[in-house]
Structure 1
Amino acid sequence: MTATDAIFDPRTTLARADLAEQGLEGIVRADVHRAAQAMRCATPMADIVDASGQTVDQLVFGEAFDALETLQDRAWGQARRDGVVGWVDRAALSDGVVLPRSRVTALDADLPPNALVADDAFSPVGEFETDPLAFAERWLGVPHRLGGRTPKGTDCCGLVQQALYACGRAGPRYADEQAELGRAVSRADARRGDLVVWLHPGQGPWNGHSAFLLDGDRVLHATGHHGAVAVEPLAEALARYAADGFEAPVFRRL
């Protein structure tokens, strides 16, 4: 494996064999390198889909999207907030990026939580929640949706990501990235608010499952098994993910 191969993750690297972002010239090989166009999400939410059309992430209002290619009604580029690469409906994007002054905090607002707004209609940018788990608990009952991260539907990593954003922390999109957050703790030392991450190599972009430890015996997570954000006994989750071929979970203190 070359040094270039080692850093190239197609989920989060704005590059293909035929086209790559200008800043990757000399790092990632492509036929053409060019500058991306700064854009922003102008609808409450917009799906980011991969080449097969599967939703892998979402933009929420005000988030920046660096578009490298526009074909008909779609734009291919990278979400600036979490680095995810994919296709977005061009009609959901506006040119340029606007400096936000406030962010949405409520789950029942017209815009999703952590949407970025240019006026003072919501909570000032720079004022954050203090407890990711407490924020995540407000999502109980939200439907499970693969690739989602809004109250209309979220997956496990989207829930963790949104809770971290609400607290002013970096929120990577995928389980393997979330498994590197904070510091490792043993299961015996794990406590409320720690992350529990099961990894499953070979699942493509969906290579694991993330949850919050609610207490010593329960987890809070968005799960397809329950079809929603739910509280589940840790023992039941451990047994199910082991049966499905996941590795033993890691516990991370944020």
Structure 2
Amino acid sequence: MAESLDPRLTPARPDIADIRLRGRVTAERFVAAAPRRVVAPAAPLRRAPSAEAGLDTEALLGDAVDLYAEQGGFAFVQLVRDGYVGYLPADCLGPAAPEPTHRVTAVRTFLYPEPDLKRPVRAHLSLGARLVVTGEAGAYFETPGGYVFARHCAPLAQHEPDYAATAERLAGIPYLWGGRTSLGLDCSGLVQLCLDAAGLPCPRDADMQERGLGRALPLALDGLRRGDFVFWRGHVGLMRDSETLIHANGHHMAVAAEPLAGAVARIRENSFGAVTGIRRL
């Protein structure tokens, strides 16, 4: 019998699977992944090869991707960042090289055709997008796709010291199921984007984060610190301070800060039930 694996993290279909899964899953053929990189500002990763399929997550410009198959304009891939498997639009992918050198640190910035703020923008770029900087032109970085205001970027090795501060900067961003850009975020996408800015690896979904982030604390709401994570079954937020939760949520339809006690009572009554875990990095 085939091994039970999380389908969200397992690059396998009945017709094709990662060669590293030989002996663990059943497939018609096994192939080695082809390295690719996201060349669009953002790319939706869906659970099926259709624009009508549900959005599971998003990949950002510069994200590394393992490609297994292409068909009908969609690519069957696994994201290198967190292992998530699904379908990206094939035209959002390009060669794996060159590797990015910088990342966007502003909540959102623009890509210009020339180093001139009066020019029509080519695209917007989210916090966390990766850039290949090839030169400088005054106040702008030159990249293969255009010019980006340099002070909105930082070298990849430079990280944010306080991931809770990043969450505070994202307050008001609309809620989007599967979103992990500054145009829209879900609860676990917010956590992942903030930890990524701090240079810390993070799984994609709330249940994965509850199992994999830091260390578990007792299920008590007193004694919490800035940066602690509070989990429900299917939801997560992080603490701004000992009494205030920041989370992307469907009640506010936005990233919002609110008293933890009020959030716990409302969530218990209306949606996800009781708190299931508290973790600290």
Q: TM-score, normalised by structure 1?
A: 0.91
Of residues 17, 22, 27, the one that matches 1:25 is 22
Q: 1:138 matched to which residue of 2?
A: 169
Q: 1:71 matched to which residue of 2?
A: 71
Contact kept? 1:38, 1:97, Cα under 8 Å: no
Pairs within 5 Å for 1:111-126: 111-119=125-133, 121=141, 122-126=153-157
Q: Which runs of 4+ in 1 moved over 6 A?
A: none
Q: Which structure's CA Rg is the greater one?
A: 2
Pairs within 5 Å for 1:171-182: 171-180=202-211, 181-182=213-214
Letter in 2 for 1:251: I
CA distance in 1, matches of 2:71, 2:2: 32
Q: 2:3 matched to which residue of 1?
A: 4
Of residues 193, 212, 228, the one that matches 1:194 is 228
1:18: how far off?
A: 2.3
Q: What's the CA shift string for 1:35-57, capped at 9, x where partnerless?
A: 12211111110100012710000
Letter in 1 for 2:88: V
CA distance in 1, matches of 2:65, 2:108: 25
User: RMSD of the alignment, in Å?
Assistant: 1.6
CA distance in 1, matches of 2:273, 2:75: 34
Which segments of 5 or more consecutive residues in structure 2 lack a partner in the other structure?
A: 111-124, 135-140, 142-152
Q: 1:202 matched to which residue of 2?
A: none
Residues 130 and 245 (structure 1), Cα distance of their counterparts in 2 relative to 1, 3 Å cut: closer
Contact kept? 2:74, 2:90, Cα under 8 Å: yes
Q: What's the CA shift string for 1:91-126, capped at 9, x where partnerless?
A: 111133431211111112122111111216331111
Contact kept? 1:62, 1:98, Cα under 8 Å: no
Letter in 2 for 1:182: G
Q: What's the CA shift string for 1:18-45, capped at 9, x where partnerless?
A: 2111111122222211112211111110
1:241: how far off?
A: 2.3
Letter in 2 for 1:230: A
Residues 76-85 or 28-37, more deviating:
28-37
Contact kept? 1:18, 1:32, Cα under 8 Å: yes
Number of matched residues?
243
Q: Residue 9 of structure 2 aligns to a residue in which SS?
A: coil
CA distance in 1, matches of 2:209, 2:87: 23
Query: Is residue 253 from structure 1 mapped to residue 280 from structure 2 by the alignment?
Result: yes
Q: Residue 237 of structure 1 aligns to a residue in which SS?
A: helix
CA distance in 2, matches of 1:245, 1:212: 16
Letter in 2 for 1:26: G
Q: What's the CA shift string for 1:206-249, capped at 9, x where partnerless?
A: xx111011223220010111010001221222122222243423
Letter in 2 for 1:223: N
CA distance in 2, matches of 1:13, 1:237: 34
Identity across the alignment (%):
40
Contact kept? 1:64, 1:97, Cα under 8 Å: no
Q: Residue 11 of structure 1 aligns to a residue in which SS?
A: helix
